A and B are shown apart, each in its own frame.
Chain A
Amino acid sequence: MSERYYTKKHEWVLVDGKEATIGISDYAQDQLGDIVFIELPDVDDEFEKEEDFGVVESVKAASDLYMPISGKVIEVNEDLEDAPELVNEDALSNWMIKVEVTSPDEVEELLTEAEYKDFIEEE
């Protein structure tokens, strides 16, 4: 089982070989409140690390989603289109996109779970 890494913008990524799964943290969903809409990219779209790849909209605000790692989209979680509340229920198992990783080394620049916990405590 690979380790989950986080960004300071509250996305998580799980890397398994050439494939990475991306979602938002439990802290992020809690801060956003009830999510009412999630806009995700299309399969085959390519993004650089830190580029925005979608939008999460809650009753409070709309927030961009940022790539934790560069890659090409190979799968999008279509369930979220009709049921964005799934992310509120469980942000870690309800992933947003899967990508083919282009620069695996980028993971090393991300936060480990423990580092992320420290980071949100300071926030």
Chain B
Amino acid sequence: MRKYDHVIFELSNPHRRAYEIPKNDIEEVSLDSFLPKNTLRKEAPELPQVSQVDLMRHYTNLSNKNYGVDTGFYPLGSCTMKYNPKINEDMARLPYFSKSHPMQDVDTVQGNLQLMDELDQMLSEITGMDKMTLQPIAGSHGEMTGLMLMKAYHQDNGEDHRTKIIVPDSSHGTNPASATMAGFDIVEIESRENGEVDLDALKEALGDDIAGLMLTNPNTLGLFETQITEISALVHEAGGLLYYDGANMNAIMGKTRPGDMGFDIIHLNLHKTFSTPHGGGGPGSGPVGVKERLIKYLPVPFVKKEETGYRLDYDYPKSIGKVSNYYGNFGIYLRAYTYILSMGRDGLKKASEVAVLNANYILSSLKSHYKIAVDRHCMHECVFAGLRKEIAEMPVVNIAKRLLDYGHHPPTVYFPLIVHEAIMIEPTETESKEMLDEFIEAMKAIAEEAKTDPETVKGAPYTMPVKKLDEVGAARNPIVRWSPKES
């Protein structure tokens, strides 16, 4: 059924039903007796009408086309697509948790509050921060929350004139986007050749209009920012705060901590580093941690442990308020908590060590065919700048598409923007050497093909449910609504 390619509307046949609602034994009331006329539709919506077996087969067939970490290697750079152990799911499905409701009296969900309190402490310890809020439901949401905290801090100190945020040109696109959303103006500084912050450019940008600097470490090229302590000293001297984007936290667990590097506000992506489901299958979770002087601005409520048990404390007049409905994505906390406990202190450290080792293994294995962006050891991900000139010339988008035919999810391409023809590979710690070797062989085989049979590479993929897509046509003339074929 690999060729299955129907839209559910195509299966529709009037009067077919997947489920019949039992006949209503309550007297019927017509809609227009209690709703204004202009709110009623004149025609019934054209919903697909299918039988239950058609419905099941349709979605089961579509689901079989899925690709994920449970089906294969997924080296999407900057996304940390590690395998998520299934014990995380078992714990999240424990009925005591899964059947609890956020509106229950706190006395009846003491275990939930305990878990939130302990997860806060664990994440704080791992990152070197003093307190976390678990509320944000995505990394970008964490960024937004962190920047609101930064704003609250400066305003509270009578420094309303600090309206600008510095971002390096290598930063994740969400950084300037979040800062803009939070009402800041962006000052972009150019990176040095190796992707590290240019201290001179930073000094020039700093001033009493700067609210703070947003940074990832390791940076977007997968390299450790060696001048981080100088950077944080400079920003602090100028009265600014340092924000840490936790996108690359998987490289440093148990090795170093953003809090020790001088960061004041950080966010984590539980769905990256802490092994919870990713993206559409998520939901995500982006806890934000702060240093002592910023705690009073964190979102309410705080989970407080008292002699009589845990309670929710809303008494923080300087809080930026809630940033999520209820308490964030609680089911995700369970998975991250389970992951941290099952890995343990040494396990987390080992995870980062192996993540870095795996990335370096790929870096050194592929440099015979691909051009290294910056020639030095990388952290948890490695960045290439396309094929080596003496091998062949081939746009990386074609290499990525060809990799699909070899059965692997492609790495990130054309990011970071500061690298020409960027290929960004993040294998994570959960892949075996055999899998890495298979991927390396595929990448080398494609490089050889680019030399001997470039047309094959340019026409890829050939084995996917859909073939080479007209991305330009889709962007210029998008068809976003299905309509029946003219017969």
Contacts and interface: CB of A to CB of B under 8 A. Distances in A.
Interface of A: 31, 33-34, 36-37, 57, 59-61, 63, 84-85, 123
B29 interface: no
A59 B472 contact: yes
Contacts of B420: 31, 123
B180 to A, nearest CB: 12
Contacts of A61: 414-415, 417
Contacts of A57: 475
B397 A34 contact: no
B414 A60 contact: yes
Nearest to B396: A60
Given A59-B471, A60-B414, A61-B417, A85 B476 contact: yes
Nearest to A82: B476
B422 to A, nearest CB: 10
A33 B476 CA distance: 13
Interface of B: 395, 397, 414-415, 417, 420, 471-472, 475-476
- With a 10 A CB-CB cut-off, give which of A37, A57, A61, A63 has the most chain B CB atoms: A61
Contacts, number: 22
Contacts of A85: 476
Contacts of B475: 36-37, 57, 59
Contact of B472 (A31, A34, A63): A34
22 contacts: A31-B420, A33-B395, A34-B471, A34-B472, A36-B472, A36-B475, A36-B476, A37-B475, A57-B475, A59-B397, A59-B471, A59-B472, A59-B475, A60-B397, A60-B414, A61-B414, A61-B415, A61-B417, A63-B417, A84-B476, A85-B476, A123-B420
Given A36-B472, A123-B420, 7 more contacts: A33-B395, A34-B472, A59-B471, A59-B472, A60-B414, A61-B417, A85-B476
Contacts of B414: 60-61
A55 B417 CA distance: 15
Q: Closest 7 A-B residue pairs measured CB to CB? A: A36-B475, A34-B472, A60-B414, A59-B471, A36-B476, A61-B414, A59-B472
A59 B420 CA distance: 15
A17 B420 CA distance: 37
Nearest to A62: B173
A63 B420 CA distance: 14
A56 to B, nearest CB: 13
B408 to A, nearest CB: 21
A97 to B, nearest CB: 21
Contacts of B415: 61
A123 B420 CA distance: 9
A33 B421 CA distance: 12
Contacts of A63: 417
Contacts of B397: 59-60
Nearest to A37: B475
A123 B476 CA distance: 30
Nearest to A57: B475
Nearest to A85: B476
A61 B35 CA distance: 48
A33 B415 CA distance: 15
A6 B160 CA distance: 38
Contacts of A123: 420
A61 B414 CA distance: 7
A18 B395 CA distance: 42
A31 B418 CA distance: 13
A59 B475 CA distance: 8
Contacts of B417: 61, 63
Contacts of A60: 397, 414
B323 to A, nearest CB: 27
B419 to A, nearest CB: 11
